[in-house]
A and B are shown apart, each in its own frame.
Chain A
Amino acid sequence: QTVVTQEPSFSVSPGGTVTLTCGLSSGSVSTTYYPSWYQQTPGQAPRTLIYSINTRSSGVPDRFSGSILGSKAALTITGAQADDESHYYCVLYMGSGIVAFGGGTKLTVL
């Protein structure tokens, strides 16, 4: 069974740029996986950031952007802020009505 993979943790300096990725244990992420990205802080519900590769959800600042980089989906945060310190999850459409979450990346801003 194909697993959706993410870096377990990442760190970025305030004002810096970071790219988180979302891949597959077998194969490459393409546009037909329609990657989406979610932010979650402890004790809170997830917040939708990006869908369909690179469309920002309503109210999401433009320093969050999505793309396909090589064989993976990517979430780039430009000009990181302290309140970007969160867990970030990707979702891929796996076919036949099924979606799958990645394991999540814990982003530290320091």
Chain B
Amino acid sequence: EVQLVESGGGLVQPGGSLRLSCAASGFTFSSYWMSWVRQAPGKGLEWVANIKEDGSEKYHVDSVKGRFTISRDNAKNSLYLHMNSLRAEDTAVYYCARGRPPIGSYYVSHFDYWGQGTLVTVSS
């Protein structure tokens, strides 16, 4: 059974840093793209970042470029989101998701499994 379990959320002051983790199990982690998706309170879903199976390619939404970095450790079956210079508008539930390309294609086009999310609150 595929399982994705996020951790690391909490309350942080504006300008602060946080590292989110996602522990994966039930599949060969190193064979899949992975992603982060977030949802601000009462708002819709927003894609944050994708990372290739071997970590060699990373893509981030414009609003977090230069502040957030997605990474992974395949030996530990873990995905990470390093968040710096946090702003109030980064307050959200952050979901870890397994990203999938379409058959015969390369880049992530959809997500097939999701974690339960971890809440990040940026406030003074």
A-side residues, CB < 8 A to B, are: 34, 36, 38, 40, 45-48, 51-52, 57, 87, 89, 91, 93, 96-104
Report how many residues on chain B are interfacial, defined by Cβ distance under 8 Å: 25
For residue B103, CB closer than 8 A to chain A, the reply is yes
| Shortest Cβ-Cβ A-B pairs, 4 listed | A36-B110, A34-B109, A97-B59, A93-B109
A46 to B45 CA separation, bound complex (whole angstroms): 9
CB–CB B100/A51 < 8 A: yes
CB–CB A93/B95 < 8 A: no
Task: Quote the shortest CB–CB distance from B73 to chain A (angstroms).
Answer: 21
CB–CB A101/B46 < 8 A: yes
CB–CB B110/A51 < 8 A: yes
Also in contact, A46 and B107, with CB within 8 A (given A40-B45, A52-B102, A97-B59): no
A83 to B95 CA separation, bound complex (whole angstroms): 23
CB–CB B50/A99 < 8 A: yes
CB–CB A45/B114 < 8 A: yes
For residue B26, CB closer than 8 A to chain A, the reply is no
CB–CB B50/A46 < 8 A: no
Task: Quote the shortest CB–CB distance from A60 to chain B (angstroms).
Answer: 11
CB–CB B115/A52 < 8 A: no
A46 to B110 CA separation, bound complex (whole angstroms): 12
CB–CB B59/A98 < 8 A: yes
Task: Quote the shortest CB–CB distance from A46 to chain B (angstroms).
Answer: 5
Considering the complex, give the chain A residue whose CB is closest to the CB of B44: A104
A110 to B50 CA separation, bound complex (whole angstroms): 38
Also in contact, A52 and B103, with CB within 8 A (given A98-B59, A101-B47): yes
Chain B positions 88 through 124: 1 when the CB is less than 8 Å from some CB of chain A, otherwise 0:
0000000100001011010111111111110000000
CB–CB A97/B107 < 8 A: yes
CB–CB B110/A45 < 8 A: no
A98 to B46 CA separation, bound complex (whole angstroms): 12
Q: Which residue in A36, A57, A97, A103 is a CB contact (below 8 Å) of B44?
A: A103
